[in-house]
Amino acid sequence: MSNRDIQNTMAVFKREFLAYFNSPVFYVIVVIFLLAAMGFPFLFSRILESDDVNLTERFFVWHPWIYTVLAPAVGMRLWSEEHRLGTIELLLTMPVSPWHAILGKFFAAAAVWLAGLVLTFPIVWTVCYLGEPDMGPIISGYIASYLYALSCLSLTCAVSAITRSQVVCFISSVFVCLVIALIGDPGFTQLIVSSVPGWAEWLVHVVSYFSFMDHFYELTKGIFVTHDVLYFVSVIIVTLIFTHEVLRAKRA
C-alpha cells in the first residue's frame, strides 16, 4: 500500500470517526454497551457473591449476545447512510477507490468498539481487587471479544452495502448475527443433535464449526489458538471483499 493509499484511507477514517462523535446515537450505543457489559456480570452472574473471579463465564460470556444487537447498530449507517443521502455516487467518483472507503469506514467503526472495550476496565479492576485472577484468560477474552465485534461489524458492512435503508440493514444484520451465534451455542447445538437422525449429527457439528461462538469460547479459555484467530480474520476479509464487489458493481 502506497503513501497515497494510506492518506486516502486515513481521510475517510477521520471523516467517519468524527461523524460518530457528532451523532447522539454513538453515545447512546456506548452507554448501552457499558451498562450491559458491566451490568450483566453483577446482576445475573453474581460476580460479587462468588469466590471465582474467572471473567470468562461471568463477563465475556455476555459479549456475543450484546454484539448481536449493538454491532449492527454501529455498522448500519456505513453505506446505507451514503445511499440515503445520495452521496455514495460522489464518494465513489472521487479519487478514492472503493477499498479506501471500505477500510476507512470499517476502521472508524472498529475504533468505536475499541473505545467501548477499553472503557470496561472497571470490571477488570474489580476482579483484581477481589482476588488474583489469571490474566491470560482476561487478555485472550478481550481479544476474542474484539474479534467477535469486528466480525459482526464486517457482516453489517456487507449488508449495508446492499440496502438503502438503515432499518432494513439493522434488522437483517441482527438476524444474520443471531443465526451465526445460535448455530454454535452448545445448548442449541445439543437440542438440534437430539432432534435429528444419527447420520445427520456430523452435519450439525460441521455447521456449528462455522459459528462465531465455537471459536470465541476457545479463545476465552486463555489459550491463544491461531486457527481461531485466523477464522475471525478470514470472516472479516471475506465480508469486506464481498462489500468491495458490491460497490464496484454499483460504480460500474
- Containing 202, the helix (H) or strand (E) segment is helix 201-209
pLDDT in tens, 43-87: 765 665 655 566 766 788 889 999 999 999 988 888 776 666 666
CB 70 within 8 A of CB 219: no
CB atoms within 10 A of CB 93: 9
Domains of the chain, residue spans: 3-251
Band (pLDDT 50/70/90 cuts) for residue 17 is confident
pLDDT of residue 110 exceeding 80: yes
21 or 106: whose pLDDT is higher? Answer: 106
For the residues 158-183, what does the mean pLDDT come to?
88
Rounded percentage of the chain residues whose pLDDT exceeds 90: 26
Q: What is the pLDDT of residue 232?
A: 93
For the residues 98-102, what does the mean pLDDT come to?
84
pLDDT in tens, 223-246: 777 888 999 999 999 999 999 888
Q: What is the pLDDT of residue 206?
A: 72
pTM to 2 decimal places = 0.86
pLDDT in tens, 199-212: 666 676 677 777 88
What residues contact 117, with CB distance under 8 A and at least 6 apart? 142, 145, 146, 149
Distance from C-alpha of 30 to C-alpha of 22, rounded to nearest angstrom: 14
